[in-house]
Amino acid sequence: MTRSLARSAVAQGTAVWALALVLAWSLPGALWRPVPPPPFPVQALLPAGLALGALALTAPLLAWLGGPDLATRRPLALLEAPPDLLWAGALLAFWPASWGPPGQGGWLVAFLAAALPGEVRWLSAALPGEVPFPAAWGPQVVRKVRRLALARLVSRWLAARLPIWLTASLVLERMLGVPGLGMDWMDRVAGRDRAGLAAWMATLALLWLLSRPLETEAVS
């Protein structure tokens, strides 16, 4: 039963992504003066991979240490509140002029500062409650329950939040003058590059599909 429900969810999600792929390929409108599609920013793959890896390691670790109560902590909400524009402006204000432009390293710092608090809160809020149980069984059991819950969440969390990170990346890239994946996405929309947008949709759909394991989950 659980396996059939999992397959049904995958089929529904695949249909939605297929519809998005069709819409990207049939993007309406045309440019008055057609221009060739922009080259893919290959140099942005390494910083994006580092940012993804840092978030994938740091956010679950902090959520595991803080537990579900961390989602309601005021300091975390204060760090999450500033928009990406403010983080980019703060980086430019405090970046030493003798170091030259911030470049990809500055983008990576600003991106983590903007994204990490929200992702920690997202994961912490998704953890199950711990009062009265498993808190009554001791801290060792509490840590194990958190670890098991996060192990089930992380893959789907990465796939669900990746498009949002790309959108946030666009703001930072514009502010810092760094070509990246978010800017590539918007340039292809503006240039009506239907093939490039379809490739983006297919990549995001593949990431989503890989985050949806078909194995039957254990029922306790």
pLDDT in tens, 151-188: 888 877 887 787 777 766 888 888 888 888 888 888 88
pTM summary value: 0.79
Domain membership of residue 138 as a residue range = 44-190
Determine the Cα–Cα distance for residues 144 and 24; give it in Å rounded to an integer. 43
Same domain for 200 and 138: no
Same domain for 175 and 139: yes
Same domain for 82 and 72: yes
Same domain for 9 and 100: no
Same domain for 70 and 157: yes
Same domain for 172 and 214: no
Same domain for 210 and 130: no
**Quick one: tokens of 182?**
């978010």
pLDDT in tens, 23-64: 888 877 766 677 788 888 888 888 888 888 899 899 999 999
Same domain for 96 and 181: yes
Same domain for 99 and 68: yes
- How far is residue 209 CA from its own chain's centroid? 15
Burial class from Cβ neighbours inside 10 Å (0-12, 13-18, 19+) for residue 89 reads: middle
Same domain for 183 and 196: no
Same domain for 220 and 130: no
Determine the Cα–Cα distance for residues 123 and 90; give it in Å rounded to an integer. 26
Same domain for 81 and 11: no
As for how many domains the chain has, the answer is: 2
